Amino acid sequence: MAPNDPSNSCIRMMAPRPWCLPFPYVPEPFPDELLSSWLRRTGVEYGISLEQLAQHIGISTTKPAYIDQDLSRDEIGRLAGAMRVERAEIRQRLYQPLRPQVRSLRAHRAPIQVCTSCRAQHFAAHAQPVFIRTWFEFWRIECQACQRALSSLGSPALDRCNPAREHPGWFSGIMPAARHGAARLHLYARRPFSAVLPPVAVLCLLSKPLTPGWPDDEVIRYGGYGVADLFVPGLSEITREQGILVPEVWTIKKPVRLVTARIILLAALSHFLADPKASFRRVRDTAGFGVGSFLERWVSALPPHARSSIC
Ligand SMILES: [Zn+2]
């Protein structure tokens, strides 16, 4: 066959790129470490960037966010060969696919929380930053490696309520319900949830203040407090002492740290989803259901099948 035969060059262009040899040394991954974080640390051992490492192995994308969620079967095989592990090890370091409605509950660029204990171990063992999958996921409240509560990023905000410090007995008491609510939200984020009410819609409801549409005496009693007060034992007493505890919208207004508000909301979510119909009636009976109330607006925004199940 002639060297400049066009059909021959076409065959050569389509030939799959050979897999690279396994790296002689691969640093040990940390528990639940994201694939891009592990690859970046491996590249540092060889004096190359994550982008150069990805190109060397033959991965089409070099951005961490895409490496962690958009790899083909061939690329997973290439990585497993290069990193001297089974394909399953690579897969378990990727993000799980999420339902479109809840994708915003996962951060892509920077963690929303950390485990301070594990992070200290990372710093002690390795100069490079380590990124753990659960630090990016809103529904995670405890570290998967050491079971400690996850913390907000940055230094503590002393001007905010901190029930974990000021009411430790009460806060530990709502943790079992919060774990249950977190598990339900995690389940929903990954696949269709069996309850008619989407947990994210319930979280939004629980974040609302109980003020519009209320009789005067009820406004005095509950005014300014959140729907979550109705479902988390003891929350309304603490709220009276310390001001509004549950944020109006958890990602915008944060009288408490996000991690604290999230635990309160997840505890309430667990209770609410145990019997959405009864729970919704409780909110409606307490708050009133007048025209223009936030509750009515909330209900009218729900899908028809969800509306009929709670009204
Ligand atoms: Zn930890």
- pLDDT of residue 299 exceeding 80, the answer is no
Strands (E), 90-209: 113-114, 151-152
- pLDDT of residue 234 exceeding 80, the answer is yes
Strands (E), 15-159: 113-114, 151-152
Query: Residue 280: which pLDDT band, with cuts at 50, 70 and 90?
Result: confident
| CA 271 from centre of chain | 20
What is the predicted pLDDT for the residue at 37? Answer: 96
What is the model's pTM?
A: 0.79
Least confident of 27-36, 135-144, 152-161: 152-161
pLDDT in tens, 235-262: 878 776 666 666 655 555 556 777 888 8
Contacts of 153 (CB under 8 A, 6+ apart): 111, 112, 113, 114
Query: Residue 10: which pLDDT band, with cuts at 50, 70 and 90?
Result: very low
Distance 151 CA to ligand 1 centre (A): 10
Distance, in Å, from the CA atom of 196 to the CA atom of 114, rounded to the nearest integer, reads: 32
Q: How many CA atoms lie within 13 A of 275 on its CB side?
A: 6
pLDDT, mean over the chain = 81
Distance, in Å, from the CA atom of 263 to the CA atom of 238, rounded to the nearest integer, reads: 15
Distance 143 CA to ligand 1 centre (A): 5
Distance 131 CA to ligand 1 centre (A): 12
Query: Residue 161: which pLDDT band, with cuts at 50, 70 and 90?
Result: confident
Distance 103 CA to ligand 1 centre (A): 24
Distance 220 CA to ligand 1 centre (A): 43
